[in-house]
Structure 1
């Protein structure tokens, strides 16, 4: 047993912290009390002068391949207090995957998820679960079924509608994921091939998920000019399918949409919640996001490329096509180039050694260095790096980020990508301590208790993890001990690969991380 003494306990429910002690018996919390237990036959952990909180839960992390193939996986996550991470978000996942579409799927995923060994693929999500279970982890892991991978495996990447046969295949894939233990489904409606899917296609998939008690979390179709309509689409999917829904990384992009755009979307969400619909959202504490460069290619160009964007943009026809389309606005797709400008799009990672001089530069600066136009450089980079480029989009206003994160139904995520090479987004290393430092500290925007709830109890409830997220007897003993004045992030835009510091103790299922006692959490 472990007796945690002299603690200031912030239990993850949102209640004010209180002085007390905790008793851990094996993997679980046996007692939590404001009254000292006295001398017990137990190992003593003295938390004098420090806060004790539940371990942080990151419900949106793109660590699917890192968990399998990175021998250091868990180090930078635990440094920022993450004891449970959930993968399979934004419809992006390495499973299910057919051998026919393996290369196209994995090339598309690489800027977000990182690399996988050649010729590895998982035909079913249940096989991906089995691969995860062959390893031991220093933190807990959860999996979402990803409708992007399901769509690609069912009917490919091209703009062809679901038919009876492909719907049947998709149904088998969703059922396999949920029966294997997936916590729910994620979709990435703005990404290929899901951008070609109709609302009713997502309703069909979500209904199957709902039969297993899962929920749907969505990277919506548009986060700029079409934000409100895109939020309404996901609300419609949830309502028609009868499932709870979550809006992934809620934000508004595009300079002209700042301020008023987020207020319209929040109004729609709160109207739905007022009607009794089970809808939540999550967000990260940065005014810039990160994604694959392929998401910047207009859908008209992607359709003409027939799934071979990298090859197409290496042709004169493809270069002319992109030059004509990249400045246009689309009714149901956010053109980030036209809405924020090349100068706010930063090249984060590249594959070719000779192109690494551009990492960390915005496209305008990189184009000047290369002696070409932004469009010409874009096409060349996509073509010569096989589309495997990560970009950082400085697309948001800090005031909008603050507004969203202070909403009572919005939890914290990192949305961390693992394909960022030498210049990843700093959220990979620091999202959780940054949020606590800024919002419960410097900005005084939230109480310490409410900030902790957004990282613990709230995501646990959304994920359906009834025995995690709060410090209550019978729950798993995932907990952190730290001085809030010393626990901080160090990752910056200029120097992102810096681990957080100041965390004194971490326990995962009652064990220190080095004992690798993490679990695969399932529905």
Structure 2
């Protein structure tokens, strides 16, 4: 008589499994731009170990029949550096299929000397996504000069470079600048080059919110390229856009020509973008740069002075040195919508344009904006409607563009967070690339869209063994239903959750299981 031994409990069954996870019968996209193959994918100890026909069993089996199995999606312009310290779940990112985020437009949430401890704390508390960050040149400035707009002396510049050196040794991914905001806007091209040379010594990238994204966008891209070329490091243009209606359909191709020319002479330059026609930033961006000197309290004092207000209103019409006129970019105050008043008394005005608020109050729009900024208990946020669909589609077709949301994780889904910026890109950017620009508008093939969110950004950021489904690579995986994949978030409902992302694995661990966060925190800090 033959006896068959049956496992007495699930633990014995798991011990008998050959793999940790096996994904079966999926349409596997390798991330490199190749067509899908029908295959099983086996994962063990955080990495892909077999792709093809897998006969061994997994401790967890996922049937992906009729679904696409993609490398995990990479957000090239993330804003999660601060929130991950409070909550590492990053649920709104993972529900979009994002497994890796690159933050740091404004730098790290700690000074250079604290980055090692910051990274260690993230690892000890646990994060659900992989996360890396840049260090900002503005941080080096403030550490030495405070909020002063003046140029550094030679000694001060050396101290700034030492700050960047400390950050790079700690594992920062490179240097950023955000050149429409004070005090970053006070940095000259030569100053940026000098500090960037330090980041270059460690293989860092120079990534920039360029000095202007309107009529001056081409010359601003040229400046970014000059910094990278002279400092000897790759250049990433953050959230590429043409925020200038007269230049819609024209200037984006001019940017392409400038970038292609630089690449042809061996300058490693590329860009990322989010796929919405409205951007978002603080309402204070509508105020000329000089008024910010000395910090927030100094700005408030100036805004309380009628003489200063009159000057600022004049410069909003005529322009001001070193200031990008974001009001003009939005086509006037009708295109500037308050979304985060940071003051309960002003919350009633949220989701209305500054022009509409001014009309209801019987006042000038500029005065409304000044008061909202001055009365905010934190950074007052606005959405700026200033881009065109045509330019988004044009930029998506450039082979060197990737996808970045310019949005952070939220501490908790469904709970208002003072640090959360209500823009739909924070909940829908990655799915929207496929739902709108692949399936609906057919701007990209599915394979190319996935490449832009996987192998290309991983290659760009020198993330070894990520962004591809390949034996030996880290098992970051997004499994989605192509037909139902949808970005539900809108400007009116910016936190609506996307649909269609069914399973997400980070470093081989299931984090989204049938559309729900498992609570797992297998993410790694990327240095």
- TM-score, normalised to structure 2, is 0.89
Q: What are the equivalent positions in structure 2 for 1:109-508 lying under 5 Å apart? A: 124-303=114-293, 308-330=298-320, 333-339=323-329, 340-385=331-376, 388-416=379-407, 424-508=422-506
CA distance in 2, matches of 1:242, 1:314: 45
CA distance in 1, matches of 2:291, 2:160: 27
CA distance in 2, matches of 1:261, 1:494: 30
Report the alpha carbon displacement of residue 43 of structure 1 after superposing the two structures with TM.
3.5
Report the alpha carbon displacement of residue 183 of structure 1 after superposing the two structures with TM.
1.6
Report the alpha carbon displacement of residue 456 of structure 1 after superposing the two structures with TM.
0.9
1:31 aligns with 2:50: yes
Q: Deviations over 1:96-128 (max 9, x none)?
A: 2xxxxxxxxxxxxxxxxxxxxxxxxx8533333
Query: In the alignment, is the contact (CA less than 8 A) between 1:468 and 1:478 conserved in 2?
Result: yes
Q: Deviations over 1:370-389 (max 9, x none)?
A: 23110111111111115621
| Structure 1 residues 145 and 304: CA distance shift in structure 2, 3 A | closer
Report the alpha carbon displacement of residue 267 of structure 1 after superposing the two structures with TM.
1.2
Q: Counterpart of 2:78 in 1: which secondary structure? A: coil
Q: 2:78 aligns with which of 58, 61, 72?
A: 61
CA distance in 2, matches of 1:298, 1:434: 34
CA distance in 2, matches of 1:233, 1:422: 31
Report the alpha carbon displacement of residue 92 of structure 1 after superposing the two structures with TM.
4.3
Query: In the alignment, is the contact (CA less than 8 A) between 2:185 and 2:322 conserved in 1?
Result: no
CA distance in 1, matches of 2:498, 2:368: 35
Q: Counterpart of 2:70 in 1: which secondary structure? A: strand
CA distance in 2, matches of 1:502, 1:37: 26
1:85 aligns with 2:101: yes
| Greater C-alpha Rg | 2
Report the alpha carbon displacement of residue 420 of structure 1 after superposing the two structures with TM.
7.0
* Aligned equivalent of 2:524: 520
Aligned residue pairs total 494
Report the alpha carbon displacement of residue 31 of structure 1 after superposing the two structures with TM.
1.5
* Aligned equivalent of 2:92: 76
CA distance in 2, matches of 1:304, 1:217: 26
CA distance in 2, matches of 1:263, 1:407: 10
* Aligned equivalent of 1:15: 34
Q: Counterpart of 2:352 in 1: which secondary structure? A: coil
Unaligned runs of 5+ residues in structure 2 are 1-18, 411-416, 512-517
Report the alpha carbon displacement of residue 367 of structure 1 after superposing the two structures with TM.
1.0
| Structure 1 residues 351 and 27: CA distance shift in structure 2, 3 A | same
CA RMSD of aligned residues (A): 2.0
Report the alpha carbon displacement of residue 70 of structure 1 after superposing the two structures with TM.
3.7
Q: Counterpart of 1:216 in 2: which secondary structure? A: strand
| Structure 1 residues 359 and 423: CA distance shift in structure 2, 3 A | farther
Query: In the alignment, is the contact (CA less than 8 A) between 2:119 and 2:525 conserved in 1?
Result: no
Q: Counterpart of 1:59 in 2: which secondary structure? A: strand
| Structure 1 residues 330 and 319: CA distance shift in structure 2, 3 A | closer
CA distance in 1, matches of 2:296, 2:338: 25
* Aligned equivalent of 1:103: none
CA distance in 2, matches of 1:422, 1:168: 36
